[in-house]
Amino acid sequence: MSEKAREFIDFWAENSIHAAEQQGTLGASQDVAELTRRLIEGAKGQGISEADLRAAIGDIAAYIEELLRAANRAESERRTPT
């Protein structure tokens, strides 16, 4: 696994994966295919191949889907009154 690929993935995810729209506020895209395409294109721009991404995280779409689930779950829990 390329450390450069892993660092790029972590940076990209931090800046691109956000919770869905809730209570009238705009959220980030929840379209896994679109986000997958953006990650691959962004990586290519940094000289990181799709194969390098897959070596780092496996199935790219599944990885993004799990990140979205986690972001949405965290946002839901944050908004739940205690």
- Cβ(12)–Cβ(39) below 8 Å: yes
Per-domain residue ranges of the chain:
3-18+28-79
Give whole-number Cα distances, 29 to 10, 35, 56, in Å. Answer: 17, 7, 23
Note the pLDDT of residue 38.
95
Which residue from 68, 61, 46 is spatially nearest to 2, judged by alpha carbons?
A: 46
**Closest to 4 (Cα-Cα) out of 41, 60, 46, 45:** 46
User: Mean per-residue pLDDT for 53-72?
Assistant: 95
Round the average pLDDT of the chain to a whole number and report it.
Answer: 88
- Distance from C-alpha of 61 to C-alpha of 55, rounded to nearest angstrom: 13
The pTM (predicted TM-score) of the whole model is 0.83
Name the band, by pLDDT with cuts 50, 70 and 90, for residue 79: confident
